[in-house]
Copies of this chain bind each other. A is one copy, B any other.
Amino acid sequence: MKLYDYFRSSAAYRVRIALNLKGLKYDRAFVHLTRGGGEQFSDRYGQINPQNLVPALADGDQVLTQSLAIIEYLEETHPEPPLAPVSPAERARVRGIALAIACDIHPIDNLRVLNYLTKQLGVTDEQRTAWYRHWVETGLKSVEALVAGHPMTGRYCHGDTPSIADICLVPQLFNARRFDCDLSGCPELLRIDGACNEIPAFADAAPPNQPDAE
């Protein structure tokens, strides 16, 4: 398998965690998202992923896109260790937390959106940072509400096994810290983040530990 990767991409970070948790070896191609206007916009990468986003995962002839689709694929092709519980209702909870981050926080603060704010709308750096923090803080507070005090929350977002929910949470919190977001409303998420980062599969996937880190 070959991962099209960028150290700072939070969606790629999710896939790195999943590959590590599954104990899968993989090659990598690095796609620099800011150099030369963004290597993801090159014709060569556009052939791999017409969405011009990282990550993509090549497995044999198949090229997979979208981090959560890739992770569900890894779960179906390499079921051990599982990244989701067994019962449909519990799976829905785990996926609901993952999607609350992957749909409703991350895309609104993605690099291309921030660039549009600056270039097309001419917002100030302060307004851009306030935008970033607003969506992260509002979004994480609602995730905190899904997790804190819930009977199914354990050492991790769901029970005592790391799941797709944690795989989305940890990269989002990494980004939140990078932009100095106020995380004081999210003690339960911070506790879970700490527990996840004690696992080498999570720690090894962190942006500063990647070969292309700057």
Residues of A within 8 A of B (CB): 50-53, 59, 62, 64-66, 68-70, 72-73, 76-77, 88-89, 91-93, 95-96, 98-100, 102-104, 106-108, 113, 116-117, 120-121, 123, 127, 130-131, 134, 142, 145-146
- CB pair A91–B72 under 8 Å, yes or no, is yes
Shortest C-beta distance, A153 to chain B (Å), equals 13
- CB pair B91–A66 under 8 Å, yes or no, is no
- CB pair A91–B76 under 8 Å, yes or no, is yes
If the complex has contacts A102-B103, A116-B134, A121-B121, are A62 and B89 also in contact, measured as CB distance less than 8 A? yes
Residues on the B chain within 8 Å of A145, using CB = 50-51
Residues on the B chain within 8 Å of A50, using CB = 142, 145-146
The 7 A-B residue pairs whose C-beta atoms are closest, nearest first, are A50-B145, A69-B95, A66-B99, A73-B92, A76-B88, A69-B96, A66-B96
Task: Give CA–CA (A76, B91) in the complex, Å.
Answer: 10
Task: Give CA–CA (A54, B129) in the complex, Å.
Answer: 27
